[in-house]
Amino acid sequence: MKKEELKYLQRLAELYPTIAQTATEIINLQSILNLPKGTEHFLTDLHGEYEAFSHVLRNGSGAIRRKIDDVFGHTLSTADKRGIATLIYYPREKIEQVKKEEEDMENWYKITLYRLIEICKTVASKYTRSKVRKSLPSQFAYVIEELITEKKEVVDKEDYYDSIVTTIIDIRKAEDFITALAELIQRLVIDHLHVLGDIYDRGPAPHFIMDKLMGYHSLDIQWGNHDIVWMGAASGQLSCIATIVRISARYGNLDILEDGYGINLLPLATFSMTTYRDDPCTCFKIKGASPERQAEAKLNMQMHKAISIIQFKLEGQLIARRPSFGMEDRRLLHRIDYEKGTITLGGKEYALLDTNFPTINPKDPYALSPEEAEVMERLQMAFIKCEKMQQHMMLLLNKGSLYKVFNGNLMYHGCVPLNEDGSFKEAQIYGKTYKGKSLYDALEVYVRKAFFAQDPLEKKKGEDIMWYIWCGADSPLFGKDKMATFERYFLAEKETHKESKNPYYRFLEDKKVMDEILMEFGLCGEDVHIINGHMPVHHTSGESPVKCGGKVLVIDGGFSRAYQKETGIAGYTLIYNSFGLLLSAHEPFKTAEAAVQEEADIISKKVAVKLTQRRKLVGDTDTGIVLKERIEELKQLLQAYRDGIIVEQF
């Protein structure tokens, strides 16, 4: 035996110091390999729509309803099943409603507890007792374990279980116990959650989504371009800060910053009211602003214009500072003729829709005025010092990455940049050339440097790269030749608004190109997939989220209300369980109140993308590969004990 192998086995022996313990662990791990594969849940492009996200998380994209059908079949009516489902999604709210309508609550408690116990038994059956035990709420852990575990030694099981349920009701703990069971079912139905980016922007409550994810039991996140720009802002990068304030203003969501994160926007508001007091700011209307809030809307429009001008200045400075980004064509302020009120783009002159630029010096258009500089200095300090925002960004860093390979699926937000011929496109990042997987890896290293590098120059490179990932032409998270923000505000000509997509999107049905992408990330064969966020699928026009014969799944269907007129639905979600891949197209979510009062679940159309001929087990997954390696190591340790190479420690 080699010295390194012996040293490793000695370390392993510290965890399993006897033959009996080693053998027991081998048996335990071998049994886990033969359990059904845990259910994975895929969501993407949440865009701050907390209520819809929360509901889809609660119902597991229909997984809970399917479990109810499995357990009760035709023995319960559709109405009863719908009532149980609503109770599991919103236990406390549903109980309060029932109490107003039900005359015999004691009987309702008993029936409900028995039904939930049966569902619990089913959802827990695919896990080891140890894993289930770790998932139990501490307050009722022992009792729940008794109720969902078969007791072969108990002769009169019905009386045994009935006495437990009766006692729960007698001591007035039924409501708490029902809530605990409902939350346990939610927890066990989904084994692992994948979020494929764009948690932030457009919708009203991304901070609530992040709070929910902070406590989720098993999670990974693939960063979206909207997440990256928030990460950049949290690091103190000024262009990113200006961008997210602008987007928040544009969608009437400044309260996310003020109330959600405690960012003081008063300096910006004061500056905006003073500078743009007599400016109608008609190019900066707020999306979704209600008529009854016109006074507030006027201030928001002024703030919207003020931060937009600041953003264009800061971006111009950044592009000049980082010529390797190759974005000189996005420096536009020096192309304006301020006397004529026009701008020259591509050799053509265009009239500006707004010519009031009181803070721009035509001789030095990218310089911030002293007042603008003070506003940004105070915003930068507020972002860096915001404890809640920093906690949320640490979650994105700890659970997130630019891509993930898991159980035969390659997950990312956006695209793998390609050339016109379908080959991987090269990109320059700080003097070095990358393409394909190496581009993702290099960009991710710099993102992490923005938060953890000790070298100030490397840290600054990391901060600036996040802005580049947000809107750079070769960024895998953006996937377009430009972000035409300025043109959309200031020019009427639609030709200037065009943002050309990377050739990647034309190759989504090309099996050869998609296989090359999968191989680049270490996947090959027929049972592997690309799962893609970022691109809204236009459901109403007949576009399918299933591309390339099922090899590529594009699951952005429009969680954001801003997209739903275009897509015709309210998002796709994907379930990957032991039986295969199931895709759901969701109708718009009403409200949580409607879900409780009307028992109105999200209406979903389910499509079986791919069903397995043989039920997948843990042994067929990435976790199974790790467990098999561990079993082999333990077998070596067991042999070392028996050969006398390592001595047991009692």
- pLDDT attached to residue 602: 63
Measured distance CA(127)–CA(39) in Å, rounded: 11
> Could you tell me the pLDDT band of residue 146, with boundaries at 50, 70 and 90?
confident
Q: For tokens 């974005």, what's the residue? A: 327
Contact 433, 426 (CB under 8 A): yes
Contact 217, 131 (CB under 8 A): no
Nearest to 185, CA basis, from 221, 224, 144, 230: 144
What's the pTM value of the predicted model, to 2 decimals? 0.92
Q: Is the model's pLDDT at 596 over the cut of 70?
A: yes
Q: Which two tokens stand for residue 532?
A: 């893609």
> Could you tell me the pLDDT band of residue 158, with boundaries at 50, 70 and 90?
confident
- pLDDT attached to residue 332: 97
- pLDDT attached to residue 562: 60
Q: Is the model's pLDDT at 157 over the cut of 70?
A: no
Measured distance CA(491)–CA(509) in Å, rounded: 35
Longest dimension (CA), the chain: 95
Q: Indicate the domain borders of the chain.
A: 3-34+621-642, 40-196+534-616, 206-486
- pLDDT attached to residue 492: 96
- pLDDT attached to residue 448: 98
Nearest to 528, CA basis, from 607, 622, 441: 622
Nearest to 212, CA basis, from 341, 87, 320, 52: 52
- pLDDT attached to residue 185: 94
Measured distance CA(404)–CA(417) in Å, rounded: 17
**End-to-end distance of the chain based on CA atoms, in angstroms?**
24
Nearest to 380, CA basis, from 469, 223, 268, 304: 268
Give the list of residues 6+ apart from residue 218 with CB closer than 8 angstroms, or none: 191, 192, 193
DSSP letter at 428 equals: E
Contact 507, 418 (CB under 8 A): yes
Mean pLDDT of 188-206: 94
77-114, pLDDT tens digit by residue?
999 999 999 999 999 999 999 999 998 999 999 999 99
What average pLDDT does the chain have?
91
Q: Which two tokens stand for residue 208?
A: 């609530």
Measured distance CA(342)–CA(349) in Å, rounded: 6
List the 348-351 sheet strands across, edge first: 336-337, 342-345, 348-351
Q: Of 46-55, 431-440, 464-473, which range is least confident?
A: 46-55
